[in-house]
Structure 1
Amino acid sequence: MSLGRFLVKRTLQGVLVVWGVITVVFVLRVISPGDPVTFIAPLDASPELKRRIASDLGLDQPLYVQYGEYLAGLVQGDMGYSYRRGLPASEIVFGRVPATVELAVASSLVAMVLSIPLGVVAATRRHEPADYGATLFSLLGISTPNFWLGIMLILVLSVQFDLFPTSTRPVGFADAFGQLVWVRFEGGLSVGAPLDVGAFVETLRTWLWYIALPATTLGTYFTALITRLTRSGMLDELGKEYVDAARAKGLPETLVRYRHALRNTLIPIITVLGLQLGTLIGGAVITEAVFAWPGLGTLLIESINVRDWPIIQGSLIVIGTSFVVLNTAVDALYAYLNPQVGYE
């Protein structure tokens, strides 16, 4: 099967999965306790006012009508309007996505930079102090709750030593990148006009300063998981015949480890990376709450507390779609890393 046919097939499957997510979320709205009208209406609201609010929100329609109208709106990019804010749900949800994506990607980068070298060192120095240290680090990382680690980092590095801020996100990565793009194209500047590199560096430094602790907190478990996976995969690959053949040809040990063994080890690592990245996007609620990070997880919790279902549905749809897209991308990368893996 060619790459094009594979992508078409997986896209159609992904559409069905997303449709299933939409349907499940809609059913959850129906069966969940609590009436959105009760949270919206004043405490002394009359029954007539409550009926009017329900009519304005379309909650007095039959369920199949509500479901059909919601699907029709989603096809057009309309997720409805927030019950509490009165703004388009798509505008609110997608406004929070960049913060969550930044946190998920940053924590993944932290995990990959630390875990793969640790796993390789642990595998190549088996039963040595380096191996024991990496194993102990993995055990601690998997066993440490994110919320406790986040609080400890705040108390020690932020409160005690004043090295990092405790919370919030004053700037995003797009703000730093926008410094260069804005100066280059705004106001009809010539091609050779100097760029405001100082503003870019300052904005990027601020972003890194604020995201360091949340990314470390969220990526600790991921780091430990990838370290253990890299170690076990490298041990398996280093014991195979093609590695012995490469060494017999006189190839340098570094080339054998990183060009051959590590490349084959990356296949299961990329699988876990794709799945965990989707999990980080949808499961960063605790970390976002600890650091007051204005992401999708915080928005979801806030909306659940007030039964703002358009926001809840939109958030869950975005999270489900991210899983589908990431899984498709991971499968497509298989053939690049290992040509023996087809697109079947």
Structure 2
Amino acid sequence: MSLLKFTIKRTIHGIVVAWAALTIIFALRFISPVDIASALIPPDVPPTARESLIEDLGLDQPWYVQYLRYIGGVVQGDLGYSYVSRISVNQLAINRLPATLELAVAATLVSVVLSIPLGVISATNRHQVPDYLASFFALLGISTPNFWLGIMLVLLVSVMLGWFPTSGREFGFYEAMRLLILDGNRYGIIQWLYHITLPAITLGTYYVALLTRLTRSEMLDQLSEEYVRVLRAKGLPETLVTFKHVLRNSLIPVVTVLGLQFGSFINGAVVVEVVFRWPGMGEFLIRAIRTVDWPVIQGTLIIIAITWVTINFGVDILYTIIDPRVTLEGESE
């Protein structure tokens, strides 16, 4: 199978998955126990005004009419208007999405910085004290709920020690870099790092365990390969063998899983953003749920779902390019 055919096949698969996700998101509104009209309209409003508002929102139309209009809007890139603010969901999401992406990227960096060294230490010190300590630390990370870790960091590091702010942010990454490049002012980037550190640690440590165990497993597999014995027989230093050859060959599956986990970072950011009042999609979604603002809820979930599908598609294509040992059909040639 050629790369073009593989790409087309994956594209069709991604479209089907995206359509299924959109349908499930649409169905959530009809299985929800909350009546949208009752949540939006005060009980003392006259029946005529109530019926008029329901008609304006299109809630009086049959479900299949609403579904077709909903799918048509998504295909055209129109996510509708907020019931509460009457502002375009597209505009609201554009203002919120960068903050979530910033947090996801920062959490990914935290995971990489912690997990790969831990995985290398575990593999090169198998069944020794460093291996047990690294495994314990990784297990502790995945066993700790994000919201609890975030609250503890706020209480200990922010409130008691005063090292970092408790919530919010002063600058986005774009504004901070623009200030640095155009004016040479480092205040913006320093403040951005100052505010994103605790949320990134809170979100990133949860995925350290998976990447650590994967790095360790791949390193052990590579260390048992014939080429490692050949390199050692040639007299190459152990550090060079470990980091230049073994670790490099072990990172291909790690990169693949890391790409897939990036979508999980976006999903997991919901709770972390609420704890730290980070102005991203997660806090945006929780606020919409509280006010039963369904266009905003649907729009946020749609963006998350499409982002997830896109990341998976990109990882599939990237994996076939960076690892020539894997055929496009997933079988040995």
TM-score range, shorter chain: over 0.9
Aligned-residue offset at 1:57: 0.6
Aligned-residue offset at 1:101: 0.9
SS in 1 for 2:60: coil
The match for 1:186 is none
Asked if 1:83 is matched to 2:83, the reply is yes
**2:113 aligned partner, one-letter code:** V
- Aligned pair partner of 1:305 in 280, 285, 290: 290
**2:262 aligned partner, one-letter code:** L
Query: Within 1, Cα distance between the matches of 2:280 and 2:62?
Result: 34
- 1:37-48 superposed matches below 5 A: 37-48=37-48
The match for 1:187 is none
SS in 2 for 1:284: helix
Query: Within 1, Cα distance between the matches of 2:57 and 2:211?
Result: 46
- Aligned pair partner of 2:281 in 284, 296, 299: 296
**2:327 aligned partner, one-letter code:** G
**2:123 aligned partner, one-letter code:** A
- Higher mean alpha-carbon deviation, 235-244 vs 308-317, is at 235-244
Aligned-residue offset at 1:4: 3.4
Asked if 1:318 is matched to 2:308, the reply is no
The match for 2:131 is 131
Query: Within 2, Cα distance between the matches of 1:246 and 1:60?
Result: 73
Q: Does structure 1 conserve the Cα–Cα contact (< 8 Å) formed by 2:180 and 2:188? A: no
Cα deviations across residues 90-138 of structure 1 (Å, max 9, x unaligned)?
Answer: 1112321111111111011011012101111221122333222211211
Aligned-residue offset at 1:256: 2.5
Asked if 1:233 is matched to 2:218, the reply is yes
SS in 1 for 2:162: coil
The match for 1:197 is 184
Aligned-residue offset at 1:306: 1.9
**1:142 aligned partner, one-letter code:** I
The match for 2:61 is 61
Aligned-residue offset at 1:180: 5.2
- Higher mean alpha-carbon deviation, 45-54 vs 253-262, is at 253-262
Query: Within 1, Cα distance between the matches of 2:94 and 2:173?
Result: 16
- Aligned pair partner of 1:278 in 263, 266, 275: 263
Query: Within 2, Cα distance between the matches of 1:338 and 1:8?
Result: 20
Aligned-residue offset at 1:223: 1.6
Indicate how the Cα distance of structure 1 residues 4 and 179 shifts in structure 2: closer, same or farther if over 3 A, else same. farther
SS in 1 for 2:167: coil
SS in 2 for 1:206: helix
Asked if 1:262 is matched to 2:247, the reply is yes
Query: Within 1, Cα distance between the matches of 2:128 and 2:19?
Result: 51
Indicate how the Cα distance of structure 1 residues 38 and 206 shifts in structure 2: closer, same or farther if over 3 A, else same. same
The match for 1:209 is 194
The match for 1:242 is 227
The match for 1:8 is 8
Aligned-residue offset at 1:301: 1.5
**1:338 aligned partner, one-letter code:** D
**2:78 aligned partner, one-letter code:** D
The match for 1:220 is 205
- 1:10-159 superposed matches below 5 A: 10-159=10-159
In the superposition, the TM-score normalised over structure 1's length comes to: 0.91
Query: Within 2, Cα distance between the matches of 1:96 and 1:21?
Result: 21
- Higher mean alpha-carbon deviation, 75-84 vs 258-267, is at 258-267
Q: Does structure 2 conserve the Cα–Cα contact (< 8 Å) formed by 1:264 and 1:337? A: no
In the superposition, the TM-score normalised over structure 2's length comes to: 0.94
Q: Does structure 1 conserve the Cα–Cα contact (< 8 Å) formed by 2:123 and 2:131? A: yes
Q: Does structure 2 conserve the Cα–Cα contact (< 8 Å) formed by 1:36 and 1:306? A: no
Over 4 Å off, 4+ runs: none
Query: Within 1, Cα distance between the matches of 2:321 and 2:235?
Result: 26
**1:36 aligned partner, one-letter code:** I
Query: Within 1, Cα distance between the matches of 2:115 and 2:195?
Result: 23
**2:189 aligned partner, one-letter code:** L
SS in 2 for 1:169: coil
**2:136 aligned partner, one-letter code:** L
Identity rate, percent: 54
Indicate how the Cα distance of structure 1 residues 210 and 180 shifts in structure 2: closer, same or farther if over 3 A, else same. closer
SS in 2 for 1:314: helix
Indicate how the Cα distance of structure 1 residues 263 and 2 shifts in structure 2: closer, same or farther if over 3 A, else same. farther
**1:69 aligned partner, one-letter code:** R
Structure 2 spans left out of the alignment, 5+ residues:
none
**1:76 aligned partner, one-letter code:** Q
Q: What is the Cα-based RMSD across aligned positions, in Å? A: 1.6
Aligned-residue offset at 1:314: 0.9
Query: Within 1, Cα distance between the matches of 2:258 and 2:125?
Result: 25
Query: Within 2, Cα distance between the matches of 1:250 and 1:332?
Result: 38
